[in-house]
Structure 1
Amino acid sequence: MITILAKVKNIIRMENIRVETSQNVQISYKVASVGERIVASLLDGLFLFVLYMVLAFIVGSTGGPSPILYVFFIIPMFYSLLFETFMDGQSPGKKVMKIKVSRIDGGAPRFSHYFVRWLFRLVDMLLTSYICAILTVVIGGKGQRLGDLLAETCVIRIGKKIQLENTILEKLPEDYELSFPEASRLTEKDLRLIRKVITQLASLDDPIEKVQFGLRARKRVMEQLDIVTQMKPDLFFVCLLRDYNYLYRTKKL
């Protein structure tokens, strides 16, 4: 009995997805569990119910049928597509549960990705009463229902926010000294990657895994920028962001 429960727990807990970026740095994402996705769907249903009550009140107060009735059909039909498109991969329910839609390759989904996911909701959820969606998510282990498989997306947990002092928005002291002039060669894509690496380092609890990941990531970036340093990985990446910030604000980029 204990063995069976352990297996079920492992299935529900899901796995991590490791994505190798174009800079050859691996970033790990925690896949949203089945339970988190179900709760998010229930919250979205509650949100829709409240919205329907508001619309019903408006229709009733106007004294009868009106063009607003069409909203009753449009909202549930395009609900997930609209919210995920304009809320960076999140519906209200997903936002509350701190999960979001992401591409398997780590990039930001485009409208075409959201559209494919939305299109196959008919099979995943409506025609099979969510059975198809739950089975494919659990069996696949990567948080992907049929729509996700075809769209090459998954649903991940949102990690810790990077603190302001670890971003290029940081205010630097007037006597700040530049450590790595090579930071001027960083692109916006590189900066996003570095912020992800910093977040990943902060989220790792295993000290050995943290050191190994940090050294691998530092090595890749050092090779890319032709930098040689023994600075600890977490400090190195923060320093790169600060140097870029300094170069940007002093108009040396």
Structure 2
Amino acid sequence: MASIKIPTSFNIDLEFETANLFQRFLGWLLDTLIRLVYCIALGYTVYNMQLGEVTSYVVYFFLGVLPMLFYFLVLEIIMNGQTPGKLIMNIKVRNMQGGKPSISQHLIRWLFRMLETPYIFWNGIIPIIAMLRSPYDQRLGDIVAGTIVVSTKTKASLNDTIFRDMSAVDYQPHFPQILKLSDRDMNKIKTLMDQAIKSNNPELAARVAYRVRDVLEIKTDMQPVEFLETVLNDYNYYTTR
């Protein structure tokens, strides 16, 4: 299992473990079993409905062929880089900066999947060779798309840094003034906020929040901890765009 260090905007390298061949195969196998069960259930249902031949073909196409064809593409987009199989195996697709892949990257991976499917022996050899030769265990589709499959467990806890992955949410920032602060300022704010929460010291959180509002000339009715969390989220949003 290889590791990859992804630099953030805060002078912090986050180290991820890449998903190895065994993990990815098990994830694919679980997804295959899920699709197989779905197809069996669909076939049993349609058969018992005693539909006409033409109607049955239409139902099979729209409820069977299309869902199976677009299974990986659609689910990896709406599940933030995961399918049910990947979710169970604790792995997900990321771009090479550690963020959420774009739609075009997902599409490229999906198109190359058709050439790499293990259903046909020789096609199944392609991703195996690519992953064995890649330093980050990438299949051919990952290499072309600029993506990587990583473990959802990072060696360095994100909770210990000011880094927040804002690419996975439709976030709306509140305070553009936050860009006046530096990485060092934000790390200090994060440290003091964590200290206030752990020691159950609302006075400390209030003093930190008051100082930030005063320096940035911000007027808000947010509670101190909520305000400081918003400040951290805003900083991540603006510095990663």
Report if TM-score (shorter chain) is over 0.5.
yes
- State the match for 1:192 in structure 2: 164
Change (3 A) 1:87 1:240: farther
CA distance, structure 2, for counterparts of residue 124 and residue 37 of structure 1: 13
Deviation at 1:92, TM superposition (A): 1.0
Of residues 76, 91, 94 in structure 1, which corresponds to 2:86?
94
- State the match for 1:154 in structure 2: 148
- State the match for 2:23 in structure 1: 36
Q: Which runs of 5+ in 1 are unaligned?
A: 1-13, 168-189, 195-221
CA distance, structure 2, for counterparts of residue 150 and residue 38 of structure 1: 20
Q: Does 1:63 align with 2:63?
A: no
Tell me the alpha carbon deviations over residues 189-243 of structure 1, each in whole angstroms, 9 at most, x when there is no partner. Answer: x55069xxxxxxxxxxxxxxxxxxxxxxxxxxx96244797xxxx9568349976
Q: Is the 8 A contact 1:83 1:91 kept in 2?
A: yes
CA distance, structure 1, for counterparts of residue 182 and residue 131 of structure 2: 38
Deviation at 1:123, TM superposition (A): 2.0
Change (3 A) 1:249 1:21: closer
Q: Is the 8 A contact 1:143 1:156 kept in 2?
A: no
Q: TM-score, normalised by structure 1?
A: 0.62
Q: TM-score, normalised by structure 2?
A: 0.65
CA distance, structure 2, for counterparts of residue 251 and residue 113 of structure 1: 31
Q: Which runs of 5+ in 2 are unaligned?
A: 167-180, 198-204, 210-222, 232-241
Q: Does 1:79 align with 2:71?
A: yes
* Root-mean-square deviation over aligned CA pairs: 3.6
Deviates more, 1:146-155 or 1:67-76: 67-76
Structure 2 matches for 1:149-228, cutoff 5 A?
149-159=143-153, 191-192=163-164, 224-226=183-185
Q: Is the 8 A contact 2:82 2:91 kept in 1?
A: yes
CA distance, structure 2, for counterparts of residue 250 and residue 15 of structure 1: 36
